[in-house]
Amino acid sequence: MSDEATAFVPGHVTGFFTVSEDDDPTKAGSQGAGLALTDGVEVTVRPADEREMYLDGASIDVEPVERVLDALDADAVVTAESELPLGSGFGVSGALSLGTALAANRALGLALSENELVTIAHGAEVQSGTGLGDVVAQARGGVPIRLEPGGPQHNLLDAVPARARVEYVTFGELDTEAVLGGETDPIDEAGERALSRVVREPTLSSFIFASRRFAREAELLSERVGEAIQDVSEAGGQASMAMLGETVFALGTGLTDAGYDPEVCATHPAGAMLR
């Protein structure tokens, strides 16, 4: 069997997180919470003699995707179309990795299970330093709370039982690898506090409040992002920063009400899926 296959993976905006290192990439990852988005990435895998990868028509090299193909011992052309920008806190690298794993499994007739494919994509992201918890959240959908770090064999997921319209504005990129490679103690301390707040009160409102406070305490806010969040608050709305990007997201019509011209989507009720 050697047909092409396509998978859709929702984007994922992390509101807050902690960093858990481990030599075993299936145990390494992050705790935290975020929003899976109806805007996402569609990944098509076609078996071929040589590997090639394209994102929105341009040739691109994404380390975790290479790692997924290595783990699956797969040579293929990977073609991705993304509604979201790369490197701006939407988990696009995680979506590319998970989409590649799901579509390659189908296209190459590999017969791996969903947990096995999520584990491979999670490990590839962690080892590349491009993400810690996006993949498991994207596999689940909704508003996932990551109570424990790691892949599906080790983590424990819960969720905020809610859905919402989501608006976002991106000002630029933030290098995930550089932030994760720096001092992470303030992130961990702020992330733990944010997680207990949301576990105590698992609502969208407490999620976005905890995220805003996390961004401040972990000192991740840039001036532009801070200003936009403030503008939304002054207009009576709720917004925070997408980790890790120069991106502001708001619930409902928060950014529109504050005079911005945002992209609009919603929380994605399901997780990643084959088309």
Ligand X SMILES: CC(C)(COP(=O)(O)O)[C@@H](O)C(=O)O
Binding mask 156-195 for ligand ADP (x = CB under 6 A): -----------------x--x-------------------
Burial 163-197 (b: 16+ CB within 10 A, else e): ebebbbbbbeebebeebbeeebeebbebbeebbeb
The reply to whether 91 sits near ligand ADP by the rule CB under 6 A is yes
Question: Which of 11, 15, 12 shows the shortest CA–CA distance to 203?
Answer: 15
The identity of residue 168, as a single letter, is Y
DSSP 213: H
Q: Which does 138 bind (CB under 5 to 8 A by kind): ligand ADP, ligand X, none?
A: none
User: ∠53-58-61 over CA atoms, to 5°?
Assistant: 40
Task: Tell whether residue 167 is a contact of ligand X (CB under 6 A).
Answer: no
- The residue range among 42-50, 90-98, 164-172, 200-208 that interacts with ligand ADP, by the rule CB under 6 A, is 90-98
- Check residue 38 for interaction with ligand ADP (CB under 6 A): no
Return the range that interacts with ligand ADP (CB under 6 A); candidates 58-66, 112-120, 148-156, 207-215: 58-66
**The only residue of 130, 155, 170, 240 in contact with ligand ADP, by rule CB under 6 A:** 130
* Residue 206 CB neighbour total at 10 angstroms: 17
Distance of CA 93 to the CA centre of its chain: 8
Q: Which stretch binds ligand ADP (CB under 6 A): 15-23, 69-77, 92-100, 135-143?
A: 92-100
Is residue 244 at the binding interface for ligand X, with CB under 6 A as the rule?
A: yes
261 C-beta neighbours (distance < 10 Å), count = 8
**Of residues 10, 99, 131, 150, which one binds ligand X by CB under 6 A?**
131
Nearest to 7, CA basis, from 43, 54, 47, 60: 43
**Alpha carbon distance 134, 13 (integer Å):** 8
95 vs 108, beta carbon nearer ligand ADP = 95
User: Where on the chain is the footprint of ligand ADP (CB under 6 A)?
Assistant: 60-63, 86-94, 128, 130-131, 173, 176, 245
User: Where on the chain is the footprint of ligand X (CB under 6 A)?
Assistant: 14, 17, 30, 32, 89-91, 93, 130-134, 176, 243-245
